[in-house]
Amino acid sequence: MTDGESADGVRLTGIAKSFGGTRVLAGLDLAVRAGEFLTLLGPSGCGKSTLLRIIAGLERQDCGTVSIAGRPVDHLPPAERDVAMVFQSYALYPHMTVAGNLATPLEMRRLTLLERLPLIKHLSPRRARVMRGIMAEVRAVAEALRIEALLDRKPAQLSGGQRQRVALGRAMVRHPAVFLMDEPLSNLDAALRVEVRHELADLHARLGTTFIYVTHDQVEAMTMSSRIALMDQGRILQLGTPDDLYDRPASLAVARFIGSPSLTVLETVADGVGGIRLGAVRLPFGHRFAAGTRLSLGIRPEAFALPLGPEADGPALAARLVRAENLGAEWHLHVRLDLPGEPPAIVRLTAAEHEAARASGLLEDPLTLVLRARGVHLFGPDGARVEPDPAHTAVVE
């Protein structure tokens, strides 16, 4: 349905929605490119599902416009918007077989109302022919999803993963212009989730359709998306590629949400000449804040290093080890920095770094932590990211 001209998949302008007195979406703008895998990521209750339902037409926005493929769809009922949705609960029709579930969207489109009425439907000579065509397509989709053996079962007789596939199949048979997915993996166990994640990414690559995917799991968002829209309290905090969000967070809130374990935030003040002070250490950033301005410094766990050879000459902080967690491929050190108030921090080491550090006695208290350039972010008093000015920064080099 997408006309080749328009680069628009879905465009939202000024979408606002309140339930009773509570504002759930606050004038939200978002342009989803045709064919991209866009993830709406955000904490529980931030309005992701509401936004998805508004795009689908299942909920009416208080104001604002939804356009799909360059055409406003606000006046269209859900079925005519050319979108398909995979629900968190899968929402399969419980008393129909898998085949019936997959066939329903096509029956609704290709059979007349009379041909769908109980009993009367058998009077139509056309119906049998149309149904044969539908069942052929259903079988093709079932084969693509490897559920052809389940076609005669009812949803209650399926495992979670199988139900998820059927829900996906029911969305796919229609070849919609846009797939909407509301946390489709949240009811699967961890191993299956990883598997289905790959399959969804494959499916997106194969179909080339626009996907709008809702999740509160940042790993899902980071691994599958072309772009992520990070939402909080009914607005979009940042829209960008996974790299953008991780390496160039637009605000402290974004930096805090993305990354696990989450980054260490230290309260500091500007020194008036483009740098900040951390105890005895000065970090130059090339910012323009007046002396005494309160700033926040965010440090990713992997931006801390132990002074092993090449890392030895960055700005260094002293710290006391509280606890060390072994995750197999990496270690997380929970430390307290030797700064006023002893702020806690988390340090991520690869298993090899940890091994080397232990061998050279670098894990004895007090630890010396060197700051790497990458993964250190400065945020202004309003929480917005301060771009380091390369001309003035020793740290970012």
Ligand X SMILES: Nc1ncnc2c1ncn2[C@@H]1O[C@H](COP(=O)(O)OP(=O)(O)OP(=O)(O)O)[C@@H](O)[C@H]1O
What residue ranges bind other proteins (CB under 8 A)? Answer: 53, 56, 58, 77-79, 83-85, 87-89, 91-95, 104-105, 108-109, 113, 116, 118, 170
Region of 41-49, 55-63, 77-85, 112-120 interacting with Mg ion (CB under 5 A): 41-49
Three-state secondary-structure class, residue 173: coil
Residue 182 Cβ vs ligand X, minimum distance, rounded to whole Å: 7
HSE at residue 174, side-chain half, CA atoms within 13 A, is: 26
Nearer to other proteins, 47 or 286 (CB): 47
CA-closest candidate to residue 228, choices 207, 208, 249: 249
- Pick out residues in 14-73 that bind ligand X (CB under 6 A): 19, 24, 42, 44-50
Residue 70 belongs to what H/E stretch? none
Helix residue spans in the chain (DSSP H): 48-56, 98-110, 113-116, 125-144, 160-172, 190-207, 218-224, 242-247, 252-257, 351-359
Provide, rounded to whole angstroms, the least separation between the CB of residue 182 and Mg ion.
6
- Binding to Mg ion by residue 49, rule CB under 5 A? yes
Cβ 24 to ligand X, closest distance in Å? 4
Q: For ligand X, give the closer residue by CB, 14 or 45.
A: 45
Cβ 116 to Mg ion, closest distance in Å? 31
Number of residues that bind Mg ion (CB under 5 A): 1
Residue 26 contacts by C-beta under 8 Å, 6 or more apart in sequence?
16, 233, 234, 235
d(CA 207, CA 351): 39
Residues contacting ligand X: total by CB under 6 A? 11
First-last CA distance in the chain: 49
Q: Which one of Mg ion, ligand X, other proteins, none interacts with residue 349, CB within 5 to 8 A by kind?
A: none
Residues 197-256 that bind ligand X (CB under 6 A): 216
Q: Is 93 in the site for ligand X (CB under 6 A)?
A: no
Which pair of tokens denotes residue 235? 């607005």
> What is the token pair recorded at 37?
């895998």
Give the residue nearest to Mg ion (CB): 49
Burial class for 269, CB neighbours closer than 10 Å (0-12, 13-18, 19+) = middle
Q: Looking at beta carbons only, is 26 or 324 nearer to ligand X? A: 26
Among residues 34 and 167, whose Cβ is nearest to ligand X? 167
- Give the whole-angstrom CA distance, residue 329 versus residue 288: 41
Residue 108 vs 273, nearer CB to other proteins: 108
Of 177 and 230, CB closest to ligand X:
230
* Nearer Cβ to Mg ion (114/219): 219
Where residue 343 falls (left for φ over 0; alpha for ψ -120 to 50; beta otherwise) is beta
- 181 alpha-carbon distance from chain centroid: 12
Chain residues binding Mg ion by CB under 5 A are: 49
Q: Which residues bind ligand X (CB under 6 A)?
A: 19, 24, 42, 44-50, 216
